[in-house]
Amino acid sequence: MRFPMFRGRSRHTLDDKGRLAIPARFKEALKQKEEDCLVVTNHIGCLWAFAKDDWRIIEEKADSLSLMDSAVNTYRRYFISGAQECLIRQGRILLPPDLKEIAGLKKEVVLVGELKLFEIWDRENWEQEFKRAMSSFQEASQALSGLGI
């Protein structure tokens, strides 16, 4: 059985405590995956949020990589070490303050579905990133056409 994916974009507001409402379509995907928790970590300019089972796959792959490879160590130090479990309570998660700071999240945020994960962007940063992605989309789509996409 193929599980639902995270799709679409939506704007949200963080409350004063840093709680983030999860969109209904994302909650439905998590419900079908039988998840009550997200694993959130820092990425480049945003946060990435995964269902726990999808995150476990990333951890298993990262664990199999060489400890003597400096690129692997950088990856683990930045991406893996930032991962924190965020319980879903009343349809919301509490974003850890350190992750909010790293991603530059203020009050207005945008959630961006990316299939097995969704991104959490500060609204202003998202608007800049989306313009950049839009301007390079044609080139990227041509490059991916060789992969059958």
How many whole angstroms separate alpha carbon 46 and alpha carbon 49? 10
pLDDT per position as a tens digit, 111-126: 999 999 999 999 999 9
Whether 2 has a pLDDT exceeding 70, the answer reads: no
Cα–Cα distance for residue pair 122/83, rounded to 1 Å: 19
In the predicted model, what is the mean pLDDT of residues 11-20? 96
DSSP label of 48: E
Look at residues 12, 5, 108, 106 and name the one whose alpha carbon lies nearest to residue 51: 5
Closest CA to 45 of 119, 132, 108: 119
At residue 110 the predicted structure's pLDDT band, cuts being 50, 70 and 90, is very high
Per residue in 26-74, pLDDT tens?
A: 999 998 888 899 999 999 999 999 999 999 999 999 999 999 999 999 9
Q: Kindly state the average pLDDT of the residues 99-121.
A: 97
9-123 belongs to CATH 3.40.50.720 = no
pLDDT value at 1 more than 70: no
59 phi, psi to nearest 5 deg = -60, -45
Q: What's the whole-number average pLDDT of the chain?
A: 94
Compute φ and ψ for 37, nearest 5 degrees. Answer: -150, 145
Judge residue 12's burial from the number of C-beta atoms within 10 Å of its C-beta, 0-12 exposed, 13-18 middle, 19 or more buried: middle
Q: Given this model, what pLDDT does residue 63 score?
A: 93
User: Mean of the pLDDT values across residues 127-135?
Assistant: 96
